[in-house]
Structure 1
Amino acid sequence: MPPVAVLIVDDDDAMANALAAAMMAYGCRARVAAGGRAAFAIPESWVPHVVILDIEMPEWDGFSVAKSMRGSIRFARVPILAHTSLAEAEIMERGIEAEIDAYYRKGEPLHGLFRMIEYLAPVRYL
């Protein structure tokens, strides 16, 4: 089975790159997009198994990015995980409306995030 491909969408470069390094150390393939527009600029030949999406971004917030992803052919069925410092209750209603599949709070131990990604990632064969 190929490694899980993860797209990290976060405007905080240090946070995104640290998370990508952790994902790669865990055995995933990871790419970083510095915001929602950058996520759509990644070559279309690369489709992630899971998107880890920051919610609080200045130019285009995570809810808007998720809605746009759901409206695209490329990302329509890719699980989206909100990765944010906001409390789950704060994003629950808007997250459901934006079709976000899961929530993980920034700052929590990464082993929980890895387990969540394993659960969300569909099995894909090359």
Structure 2
Amino acid sequence: MSDPRTVTVRTLDHGEVTAAEPFWCLGVHADGEFRADFNHQGEEYPLVVDTVQVATASLYQRPFAERTTTAPVAVLEFDASHEFDSVALAGLADSLVVYAVGPLHDLVTRLQLLEDGDAS
């Protein structure tokens, strides 16, 4: 059995902070933030319409936030506003359906497994 991974970052309010790093985390962390802003982020599941990324979903956890859970949450972020004519809007609608039953559903399943196991 391998040792749990950890990461150490320098924070503005608590100096060096070491945290357990979940297996799903990509390992990208920033120094110089507040401890409560420290986060783990997983693989991104992008929604791309006509070569434009419209949204992305990923696993996300802030272990030192005031309100946190031991399991990660899923974050869905939409990019800035986009303008659509009727053809482009129809393409977006079709892409949303494919995204919902494909990558987003896969992320739901992964999150449920993590919640059931309470694995971080």
Q: TM-score, normalised by structure 2?
A: 0.25
Task: Indicate the structure with greater strand content.
Answer: 2
Task: Indicate the structure with greater helix content.
Answer: 1
Give the structure with higher Rg (CA): 2
Bigger relative contact order (CA 8 A; separation at least 6): 1
Q: TM-score, normalised by structure 1?
A: 0.24
